[in-house]
Amino acid sequence: MAEAEESPGEHETATPRPLFAGLSDISISQDIPIEGEITIPMSAHARELDNSTLNESVRHTIMRDLKAVGKKFMHVLYPRKSNALLRDWDLWGPLILCVTLALMLQKSSVDGEKDGGPQFAEVFVVVWFGAVTITLNSKLLGGNISFFQSLCVLGYCILPLTVAMLICRLVLLAGQGPINFMIRLFVVAVMFAWSVIASTAFLADSQPPNRKALAVYPVFLFYFVISWMILTFTP
């Protein structure tokens, strides 16, 4: 078995024969040892750039994620027809925004829990279950957007309302009154419109034109609820 027989293919025939005619005569009756080395040509530089980001420093990782989140914030604030939010979705931004909003909306009173302000968990639940419901509705209506992409868009578009919350809190420091209320109403209304327009710019594209309004209506309701919570907040 260990004999090495020369492969019949090594005998080149000089006679003019049609191509591959000799193949039918080849019968390999013994082992042809094939040995050698197969190496994949790779430079040492590419070796370090493979997928694992485990070796980088923690600061580097956090900065990369923060930069991605910040870039998406910019996309929300200036809604253009771009795919950045949809393509590289992440849920860090919505989490940060939701936690900030819930912290600011929390009633800071210790006297009685029935005072009407939402607790942290309630805001959280409203935001996330609202987003899940809208996503389910959008998917059932036949949109071609994935579950997490939709959650990402809805979460990021809470940014204008969070800004409105900050402004309301600042305005409330100057005391309460009807003018105060009108200012707050105006700010919240503008930010609400901004949120709805920003999320519509991303979500409506995934639906055919005769169903856009149907997909936008629950988004409208969702941001209306959040705006209502912001507007009725009294410290």
Partner 1 sequence: MHAAGLAAPAGTPRLPSKRRVPVSQPGMADPHQFFDDTSSAPTRGYGGQPSPGGLGYPSPSSSHEAPFLADPMSNMAMAYGSSLAAHGKELVDKNIDRFIPVTKLKYYFAVDTVYVGKKLGLLVFPYLHQDWEVQYQQDTPVAPRFDINAPDLYIPAMAFITYILVAGLALGTQDRFSPDLLGLQASSALAWLTLEVVAILLSLYLVTVNTDLTTIDLVAFLGYKYVGMIGGVLVGLLFGKIGYYLVLGWCCVSIFVFMIRTLRLKILAQAAAEGVPVRGARNQLRMYLTMAVAAAQPLLMYWLTFHLVR
Q: Which residues bind partner 1 (CB under 8 A)?
A: 1-2, 27-44, 46-47, 49-51, 53, 87-90, 114, 116, 118-119, 122, 126, 133, 137, 140-142, 146, 148-149, 210-214, 217-218, 221, 224-225, 228, 232
Report how far residue 93's alpha carbon sits from residue 230's, in angstroms, rounded to the nearest whole number: 20
Minimum distance, C-beta of residue 8 to partner 1, in the bound complex (Å) = 12
**Is there a contact between 79 and 198 (Cβ–Cβ < 8 Å)?**
yes
Report how far residue 132's alpha carbon sits from residue 148's, in angstroms, rounded to the nearest whole number: 9
Minimum distance, C-beta of residue 127 to partner 1, in the bound complex (Å) = 12
Minimum distance, C-beta of residue 174 to partner 1, in the bound complex (Å) = 24
Of 71 and 88, which has the nearer Cβ to partner 1?
A: 88
Of 5 and 235, which has the nearer Cβ to partner 1?
A: 5
Minimum distance, C-beta of residue 14 to partner 1, in the bound complex (Å) = 25
Of 51 and 57, which has the nearer Cβ to partner 1?
A: 51
**CA 74, chain centre distance (Å):** 14
Of 14 and 44, which has the nearer Cβ to partner 1?
A: 44
Of 81 and 87, which has the nearer Cβ to partner 1?
A: 87
Minimum distance, C-beta of residue 178 to partner 1, in the bound complex (Å) = 17
Amino acid present at 42: M
Annotate 84-137 with DSSP letters as a single string: HHHHT--SHHHHHHHHHHHHHHS----S-STTSPPPHHHHHHHHHHHHHHHHHH
Minimum distance, C-beta of residue 64 to partner 1, in the bound complex (Å) = 9
Residues 6+ apart with CB under 8 A from 127: 98, 101, 102, 155, 158, 226
Amino acid present at 43: S
**Is there a contact between 37 and 7 (Cβ–Cβ < 8 Å)?**
no
**Is there a contact between 135 and 147 (Cβ–Cβ < 8 Å)?**
yes
Of 181 and 217, which has the nearer Cβ to partner 1?
A: 217
Report how far residue 226's alpha carbon sits from residue 223's, in angstroms, rounded to the nearest whole number: 5
